[in-house]
Amino acid sequence: MDFFLIAILFCVLLATGLVFLDRRNLIVLSVLLSGNLVLWYLAIGRGMDFIYEENSWMENIQAGVLLVSCVVFVFAGFALREKHRVLALFLAVLCFIFSFREVDVDELGVSTWLIFLLAEEGRAIFFVVALVFLVLMLKDLKYYLGNRRLYLRSSFGIHLVQAAILLVVLSSAFEEDLFGFRDHVFYEELSELLAYCLLFATSLDLVKALREIERKTAQQV
């Protein structure tokens, strides 16, 4: 049962890419999905349970993917203008916040002030920064809603919607063991990793996707 569900999940992600994404984005998606399939084979096919233990391979890969995505989003932000710059920086902060959700900073032997900043009350600073960017984005809510179809049909929208479903719906379902899978902890981690990989794919194509949206909205005026 678990094999068929995962097969369906990967097929849906790949089929969506085949239908809606261009060749470059499809290649990126295929590479990321292949990497996740390798982890699935090692953990389930070869019985390497340690891969998805706390602070092991999968959580470290998740944190790494998120931090790289954060950096790429920052660079994308400086390449974009006005409202889209704010959007890119908001996504960068979001990835940064998520990254330290996957790592027990207090077990890394770092300075006390870093533990406070990244694992304790100090994290509130980053939530405040994200909230500031969110408020700035809400100022352009009318623009986003008016062009929602352009956003949803772009690689930006496709990847973000899929990532949200994986992170909010599927990951939570596996965490609560709603499907009754023996390896539900692994599938929870896999859902999160797939979501973060989609965020990474979003960051790689963000500038191109948002500039294309800007071009199309300019033509509508």
Q: Cβ(80)–Cβ(88) under 8 Å?
A: yes
pLDDT at 178: 81
The number of domains in the chain is 1
Round to whole Å and give the CA distance between 113 and 95. 21
Rg from Cα positions in the chain: 18
Neighbours of 72 (CB within 10 A): 22
pLDDT at 150: 94
pLDDT at 106: 61
Round to whole Å and give the CA distance between 71 and 89. 10
Those residues of the chain that have pLDDT short of 50 are none
Look up residue 165 and give its DSSP letter. I
pLDDT at 218: 84
3-state secondary structure of 42: helix
Round to whole Å and give the CA distance between 76 and 206. 7
pLDDT at 3: 74
For residue 199, give the nearest of 122, 117, 128, 102 by alpha carbon: 102
pLDDT at 104: 66
Range of the domain at 93: 2-220
Task: Give the pTM.
Answer: 0.92
pLDDT at 215: 92
pLDDT at 4: 79
